[in-house]
Chain A
Amino acid sequence: MRGGAFLLAANAVAALAAMASEPPAARYPSPIELVISPDGSRLYALCEGTDEVVTYDLGSGRILHRTPVGRVPKSLALSPDAKHLYVANSWSDTISDLDTSSLQVVRTLPAGFEPNAAISDREGRFLFVANRLSNDVSVVDLASGLESKRLLAGRGAAYLTLSPDGSRIYCTHIYPNIAKFRATPESEITVIDAARQVVAERYRLHNAAGVFHVAVSADGRLGMAAQMRPKNLVPLAHVEHGWVIGNSISLFGEDVGEVVQISIDELDRYYTPPFAIAMARDKSVAYVSTTGSDSVTVIDIGRLLALIRTLSPAERRALANDLSASANYVVARVPVGHGPKGLTLSPDGKRLYVANRTGDTISVIDTAARRVVSDLSLGGPATLTPERRGERLFFNAGFAFHGHFGCANCHIEATFDGLSWDLEPDGFGKDYVDNRLLEDVADTAPFKWNGANPNLETECGPRTEKFFYRSESYDGWQLNDLVSFIKSIPLRPNRYRNGELTPAQERGKVIFERTRRKNGTPIPAKNQCAVCHSGPHYTNQQLADVGTGKPTDRSPLIDTPQLTNVVLTGPYLHDGSARSLEEIWTVFNPQDTHGVTNDLQKDELNDLIEYLKTL
């Protein structure tokens, strides 16, 4: 007995000692982008999970160095002379300038809010940075290291590419531009004159939302942008026949004339969402990573262009809605690792490298055989936590009918999509719902705009299976993992809250917390901003009728949304009818039922917005 007690005590001490010395939880590398050196000897892998650039020697397949960069880096690009590697650190709002000889960061450059990509002009004089939260492109003088200019891009400015002649920079954006309520989503490719540093053109991408990488052929005649085409205006009554999202490529350039959108889906199988594009130098094929489908789609460009040349303008417009079209130009689907994101081709075109973000590997594809011949490991933790398993599920599209879509198609990169949807169970044309940000949702039950789901398990389990996926989906273990991941999604840094509030933010705070109108009369408690939008997440987690219901809503009672990072998540209100925070009050609050705002002047509303930005 005594011996047993001693053993237990010893075990307890050992366990405590182990806990005391336990290192912080290991992070998963999560490779998201790849770049290869011009001589093909080095591969640079950007790991957004471990905030580092991992440099491989491709001759030996070994890791040469791990270079720490800023927080949550999103993309990287080589300078024209390949002596510098520019890394966009999305949470640090900086660009790391990495010397490719020493593999050290030699300086940090400025950027806007949440830089997502950076690319140098051909002369190496200026760096163009796509800023995802400020929706613009910074122009940074590489000599002085200072930002010299901002150019307005699309909402959620995301990815950049330089035309081969260096004259144009093409910029995509991941959220559709804010538009009229229930209008077809519109996106653009912002075309920047690199020499004059002005926006030269905006290519309209009709009904595109979620536009990711853009690539241009070596001859400069063909551009390709990976995108989704949502069907959010049509009742989501079923999934078959491409009813939810079209996975698509926008083509532009002299080869096609006007922008042509094509489908990469099939009738019974979907390849989603298309993320990165790599084109062979001879323009024979293009490779498209499809993150949720764990595959790379291979497009025969010659066959594609031949098809397009035979089509009338009307037929070209119909191409993106034709699930049988891809049979004419898709020549292979190559299975790769989990969550493929960035791609890069070797200079000789014989190898394609694929960053498997949630698999922590790099697939190496033999482009002639069109199959994976080896994998490079990023050396992440050997075991998967529930959160990591849930992350894989979140980004995987294999659970929806025919693999049509996954959580991340609408919650793009675990955020939102800027769209309102007509979901089916309530009837057609009723209860349009705006898609909500997933960050900071863990303690904000109930869920759904009508508060019908008491917890995330219900929201992500039976409801998702029955009304979204329309197919058997997560088992109990998987659902627990998925919910664990969603609860762990970190809240991105607030760019507007830097210590003390500014005078405008202070004035806005006073308005937010006021209990009396400007004329001194009391504001009923239920009509005070800080009552319903209270607590750590700025929600009292109650339903309320604030007069924003529409005739198409079955009930005027709306779940009080959390306000954390609310400035990012337009459009607003439960149905996405308010295009801006200001419209919530100036258009949709005529009777002061959603807070008292009609006694406020324009500048006071501006102050209120300034305060809301800090939440």
Chain B
Amino acid sequence: MISRCLGLVVLCRLVSGAAPIPVPYIYTEAPRYDSRASLHGGERFPAGAALEIVSNGRKRVLAPGFAASADAAVSFDGTSVLFSGKRKPADSWQIWEIPLSGGGPRRVTSFAEDAVTPFYLPGERIAYARRTPQGFQIETALPDGGAPLRLTYAPGDHILCDVLRDGRVLFEAPHPDAQSSTRDLFTVYTDGSGVETHRCDHGRDRSRGRELSSGDIIFQTGSHLARFTSARATQVELAATAGEFAGPTAEISPEEWLVSYRSNAAASFGLYRWRPGQGLPETVLAIKGTNILQPVLVRPHTVPKRHPSGLGDRQGANLLCLNSYVSRSQTIPAGSVAAVRVSALNASGVSVVLGQAPVERDGSFYVQVPSETPIRFELLDAIGKSIASEKGWFWARRGEQRVCVGCHAGPEHTPENRAPEVLLRTQEPVKMALPVHNGKQGKK
């Protein structure tokens, strides 16, 4: 039985010999938990969930009166919490905010569809994931209303993980390769521009990323945790520990984390404190038959940097590739590429070809594509045969201008300082648009 029905209770030997957590913390209790729900469009907490807050050794339900609540995010000043909740089991998930000093929760979103995983953004905005026919998509909005701004436009569930201190939104989404059954971590600016995978060493399932004070990103991969560091382009494995982790984690100190963990697959996830690389996690709270997930510490934390949007007032998005021969995924023979074919997903979710653009001898090309539309590139040889093609979809915002080093070059690859030949030939991109049918453009 979930303890939310108890209201305010005293924790009885929840901590057995462990030092107390130095600040209040919030977690989600759930009888059942499906960590791979976003891969099949399912419900993470099929039997409900409840947010609990523990302060000075006493725990209470954070927001009484909810059939389900989860996804706590503490404001930068540590005084309020955003969360996903539904009053009744049949309701959709919505975003709510509750002050920690007392008082009831305030409904922030009122959609017909689910809205989950809220986060505070700098500049008084919030971000969350909202269910659409194409899967969960990330939006930002003012907490007091106004038109939301959509940040993601590719198919599949896009679920927020964190707001990085550099101002970008970290999210998980299906691996770009549609054949893959894994997720990866991506970043996007708060105006929806600059979307990219956080690192390009795809392959393993990654989810529940969270930024540490060091700037490292700790995430769940399989049943254990790993991290991305600033210095490396590939994930860094943490010392192997028996048992299973369920991200996200909370950082008590640079050396110690609060984690959801279970010693074996038959057990429920409990709350543990763990010093990575130093043995097994130490129990903080374990309740038989109940999973303890999503720990968050209640304390002020750094306000991320605001992203000053540089989107221009122009139609579509300009995309420049410096050298399409640069690829970490395959060797593309020099001189083999003659053109790039650009495809997009139309409003019906059907892949349509937008057109082709010439590729210069140095591998550069310059195109203008429809904005807020999933697109992908395919490199062609002189007779139109495919040489290489993107597996997944990405998008650009209206007025965005992006440059990439190559096709899947990797984030560690900085550009060669050379004027691309395409810009020596022309400063105008090859313009491409979605086909128009029956007077209506097939655009979303």
Q: Mark B110-136, 1 if CB is under 8 A from A, else 0.
A: 000000000000100000000000000
The 6 closest A-B pairs by CB, nearest first: A242-B414, A429-B423, A327-B231, A324-B412, A268-B230, A472-B306
Asked whether, in the complex, the Cβ of A237 is within 8 Å of the Cβ of B412, the reply is no
Asked whether, in the complex, the Cβ of B230 is within 8 Å of the Cβ of A237, the reply is no
Asked whether, in the complex, the Cβ of A427 is within 8 Å of the Cβ of B417, the reply is no
A322 within 8 A of B: yes
Q: Which among A231, A241, A246 has the highest number of chain B CB atoms within 10 Å?
A: A241
Closest Cβ neighbor of A469 among chain B residues: B308
Can you report 22 A-B residue pairs in the complex whose CB atoms are below 8 A from each other?
A232-B417, A234-B418, A234-B419, A238-B402, A240-B194, A242-B415, A246-B414, A269-B215, A269-B230, A322-B414, A323-B412, A324-B234, A326-B231, A327-B229, A425-B312, A428-B320, A428-B429, A429-B424, A467-B310, A469-B308, A471-B306, A472-B305
Closest Cβ neighbor of A401 among chain B residues: B166
A230 to B415, CA, bound (A): 10
Partner of A466, one of B231, B310, B401: B310
Q: Mark B313-326, 1 if CB is under 8 A from A, else 0.
A: 00000101010000
A235 to B411, CA, bound (A): 17
Partner of B412, one of A184, A322, A462: A322
Using a CB-CB cutoff of 8 Å, which residues 282-336 of chain A contact chain B? 321-327, 330
A466 to B308, CA, bound (A): 5
Nearest CB on B from A228, distance (A): 11
Q: Mark A395-430, 1 if CB is under 8 A from B, else 0.
A: 000000110000000000000000000101101111
A424 to B427, CA, bound (A): 12
Q: Mark A448-467, 1 if CB is under 8 A from B, else 0.
A: 00000000000000100111
Asked whether, in the complex, the Cβ of B402 is within 8 Å of the Cβ of A430, the reply is no
Q: Which residues of A contact B (CB under 8 A)?
A: 182, 184-185, 207, 229-235, 237-238, 240-243, 246, 263, 266-269, 321-327, 330, 401-402, 422, 424-425, 427-430, 462, 465-467, 469-473, 552
A325 to B308, CA, bound (A): 30
Which chain A positions have C-beta within 8 A of B417?
Answer: 184-185, 207, 229-234
Which chain A positions have C-beta within 8 A of B444?
Answer: none
Partner of A267, one of B233, B322, B405, B423: B233
A241 to B406, CA, bound (A): 12
A471 to B306, CA, bound (A): 6
Asked whether, in the complex, the Cβ of B233 is within 8 Å of the Cβ of A323, the reply is yes
Asked whether, in the complex, the Cβ of A425 is within 8 Å of the Cβ of B310, the reply is yes
Asked whether, in the complex, the Cβ of A233 is within 8 Å of the Cβ of B401, the reply is no
A422 to B403, CA, bound (A): 13
Which chain B positions have C-beta within 8 A of A184?
Answer: 417-418
Q: Which among B194, B230, B305 has the highest number of chain A CB atoms within 10 Å?
A: B230
Closest Cβ neighbor of A237 among chain B residues: B403
A471 to B167, CA, bound (A): 8
Q: A237-B320, A243-B403, A324-B234 are in contact. List 15 more A-B contacts (CB 8 A).
A: A182-B419, A230-B417, A233-B417, A234-B322, A234-B415, A234-B417, A235-B403, A240-B411, A269-B230, A322-B412, A323-B411, A422-B423, A429-B419, A429-B426, A471-B305
Asked whether, in the complex, the Cβ of B232 is within 8 Å of the Cβ of A472, the reply is no
A471 to B191, CA, bound (A): 12
Which chain B positions have C-beta within 8 A of A427?
Answer: 318, 401, 427
Nearest CB on A from B107, distance (A): 30
Residues A267 and B402 in contact in the complex (CB < 8 Å), given A242-B414, A472-B306: no
B88 within 8 A of A: no
B413 within 8 A of A: yes
Which chain A positions have C-beta within 8 A of B419?
Answer: 182, 233-234, 422, 429
Closest Cβ neighbor of A229 among chain B residues: B417
A549 to B299, CA, bound (A): 57
Asked whether, in the complex, the Cβ of A321 is within 8 Å of the Cβ of B413, the reply is yes
A246 to B215, CA, bound (A): 21
Residues A424 and B401 in contact in the complex (CB < 8 Å), given A267-B231, A429-B427: yes
Closest Cβ neighbor of B309 among chain A residues: A466
Residues A471 and B166 in contact in the complex (CB < 8 Å), given A235-B403, A323-B233: yes
Nearest CB on A from B78, distance (A): 21
Q: Which among B215, B305, B414 has the highest number of chain A CB atoms within 10 Å?
A: B414
Which chain B positions have C-beta within 8 A of A323?
Answer: 233, 411-414
Which chain B positions have C-beta within 8 A of A269?
Answer: 215, 230
A467 to B426, CA, bound (A): 23
The tally of residues in B whose CB lies under 8 Å from a CB in A reads 42
Which chain A positions have C-beta within 8 A of B420?
Answer: 234
Asked whether, in the complex, the Cβ of A266 is within 8 Å of the Cβ of B230, the reply is yes
Which chain A positions have C-beta within 8 A of B255?
Answer: none
Residues A243 and B166 in contact in the complex (CB < 8 Å), given A267-B232, A326-B231, A472-B307: no
Which chain A positions have C-beta within 8 A of B418?
Answer: 184, 233-234
A422 to B322, CA, bound (A): 14
Nearest CB on B from A249, distance (A): 15
B269 within 8 A of A: no
B366 within 8 A of A: yes
Nearest CB on B from A424, distance (A): 6
A180 to B322, CA, bound (A): 21
Nearest CB on A from B28, distance (A): 29
Q: Which among A231, A330, A462 has the highest number of chain B CB atoms within 10 Å?
A: A231
Partner of B416, one of A240, A321, A462, A473: A321
Which chain A positions have C-beta within 8 A of B308?
Answer: 462, 465-466, 469-473
A207 to B166, CA, bound (A): 29
Nearest CB on A from B429, distance (A): 8
A261 to B299, CA, bound (A): 44
Closest Cβ neighbor of B231 among chain A residues: A327
Using a CB-CB cutoff of 8 Å, which residues 364-380 of chain B contact chain A? 366
A266 to B232, CA, bound (A): 7
Residues A428 and B412 in contact in the complex (CB < 8 Å), given A230-B417, A330-B231, A472-B307: no
Q: Mark B283-327, 1 if CB is under 8 A from A, else 0.
A: 000000000000000000000011111101000001010100000
A263 to B167, CA, bound (A): 25
Closest Cβ neighbor of A424 among chain B residues: B401
Q: Mark B221-250, 1 if CB is under 8 A from A, else 0.
A: 000000001111110000000000000000
Residues A267 and B230 in contact in the complex (CB < 8 Å), given A238-B402, A240-B194, A429-B427: yes
Residues A322 and B415 in contact in the complex (CB < 8 Å), given A237-B320, A424-B401, A425-B312: no
Closest Cβ neighbor of A242 among chain B residues: B414
Which chain B positions have C-beta within 8 A of A235?
Answer: 320, 401, 403, 423
Which chain A positions have C-beta within 8 A of B414?
Answer: 231, 241-243, 246, 263, 321-323
Q: Mark B36-78, 1 if CB is under 8 A from A, else 0.
A: 0000000000000000000000000000000000000000000
Asked whether, in the complex, the Cβ of A321 is within 8 Å of the Cβ of B415, the reply is yes
Closest Cβ neighbor of A233 among chain B residues: B419
Which chain A positions have C-beta within 8 A of B305?
Answer: 401, 471-472
Nearest CB on B from A554, distance (A): 9
Partner of B232, one of A241, A246, A263, A327: A327
Asked whether, in the complex, the Cβ of A472 is within 8 Å of the Cβ of B167, the reply is yes
Which chain B positions have C-beta within 8 A of A462?
Answer: 308
Nearest CB on B from A354, distance (A): 22
Asked whether, in the complex, the Cβ of B231 is within 8 Å of the Cβ of A322, the reply is no
A225 to B401, CA, bound (A): 35
Which chain A positions have C-beta within 8 A of B233?
Answer: 267, 323-324
Closest Cβ neighbor of B427 among chain A residues: A429
Which chain B positions have C-beta within 8 A of A242?
Answer: 414-415
A425 to B199, CA, bound (A): 27
Asked whether, in the complex, the Cβ of B194 is within 8 Å of the Cβ of A238, the reply is yes
Closest Cβ neighbor of B429 among chain A residues: A428
